[in-house]
Amino acid sequence: MRLELGRIKITDVQFGDTTKVENGTLYVNQQEIVNLIMEDEHIKSVKVELAKPGEETRITPVKDVIEPRVKVEGQGGIFPGVINKVTTVGTGRTHVLSGAAVVTCGKIVGFQEGIIDMSGPGADFTPFSKTYNVCLVIEPVEGLKQPDYEAAARMAGLKAATFIGKAGMNVQPDEVEVYETKPLLESIQEYSNLPKVGYVYMLQTQGLLHDTYVYGVDAKKIVPTILYPTEVMDGAILSGNCVSACDKNTTYHHQNNPIIHDLYARHGKDINFVGVIITNENVYLADKERSSNWTAKLCKFLGLDGAIISQEGFGNPDTDLIMNCKKIEMEGVKTVIVTDEYAGRDGASQSLADSDPKADATVTGGNANEVIVLPPMKKVIGMLDYTDKIAGGFDGSLRPDGSIEAEIQVITGATNELGFNKMSATSF
């Protein structure tokens, strides 16, 4: 598969009479967005607000972040199986409003939601302090159950991102990136002298607001399978989970998976990037065994020499991570695992809930239990009502002056296991 990403660099966002991109500025018609979101009977109200890098603005509780994109050439459309038909994507040309993002926030769904600070020390921990954010503050109808609220908020973000993304349909990109993965036998023959490397992409699928969707299917219902990396760039994988904000993969993370980008950068040079194996993170032991068995089998089937494994979440998924690592290594395939740590505020506790001697090459995203003080902000998009309740917060986290003392796991994307704030390792 060959995909061209036409990046349209967004350097400002403003409200306007028409939703369009002009000279790097994204103009958003506020009422059009409101009308679109209010088509859902589960939503009582929605407020559209803008947040720009460097502003004294705090966004919370954050549910998801989505990058606006539009399919310009090729089959299918962005977010297949959800917004568009279930057509295989990852080919042709897609335009990206690079630097823009849609952020869903508002009354809390689950306790594991996050904070984005657009300036101050918290801004250094999140990639979304650097994006021009169109924020949807969503209020559900009274009595709406949590899963229904999560689904409504998720769809609101996807619909808004799709609508805004269409503004880039006829805009000349500032740059065009080309990504291509050829059929396996052809790829192996082309780079027969290079080690064959694959990416094992673990998806959060524990249920109870811990879900990820692949072509619209809840990933807990699938067995491990193979994707072209370019399918991920076209929105084949979507977030639907409320796992701790610091290590949750938002939809934006999936669209811009840095491990995939780094592997492509080295493809044909010192490695042969064969493709992506997606697998899930389960609750029951039998399901963990099944998925890790299949994952190791697929690595062997593809003839990999090495594999990078990233996880999402912590605690229970650490077992899935180590099972995958151990079984893949037993097939003769070298591995590197990418994870964060929960080592206690003093850093002295066991970093992962599970371990094995075969997990001897690790990239860490940092210790999510580290404590940070976030200064008060002039503007809050959303509400501070749940500051003490979200994961990483505690009774008294929200101080009288509006500052917040909490573990960095409250910050969206802070120690993300995809290595979003640092280069991922691809050496074995």
User: 227: which 2 tokens?
Assistant: 């994707």
Q: Which of 109, 134, 131 is nearest to 53 (CA)?
A: 131
Count of other CB atoms within 10 angstroms of residue 11: 12
Residue whose token pair is 């389960």: 282
Q: What is the DSSP string of 382-415?
A: E-STTTTTSBTB-TT-B-TTS-EEEEGGGBTTTT
For 249, the 3-state DSSP assignment is coil
Q: Which of 223, 215, 7 is nearest to 98 (CA)?
A: 7
CA distances from 141 to 148, 265, 381 (A): 10, 46, 20
Asked if omega into 68 is within 30° of 0 (cis), the reply is no
User: 52: which 2 tokens?
Assistant: 């720009």
Exposure pattern of 157-170 as b/e (b: 16+ CB <10 Å)? bbbbbbbbbbbbee
Measure the CA–CA gap between 378 and 380, rounded to whole angstroms: 7
Measure the CA–CA gap between 391 and 2, rounded to whole angstroms: 40
CB–CB of 278/214 below 8 Å?
Answer: yes
State the amino acid at position 249 in one-letter form. Answer: N
Residues forming the active site:
242
* C-alpha torsion sign, points 101, 106, 110, 116: positive
Measure the CA–CA gap between 310 and 212, rounded to whole angstroms: 15
User: 181: which 2 tokens?
Assistant: 């993965």
**DSSP H or E segment with residue 44:** strand 43-51
CA distances from 46 to 53, 120, 143, 323 (A): 23, 27, 17, 43
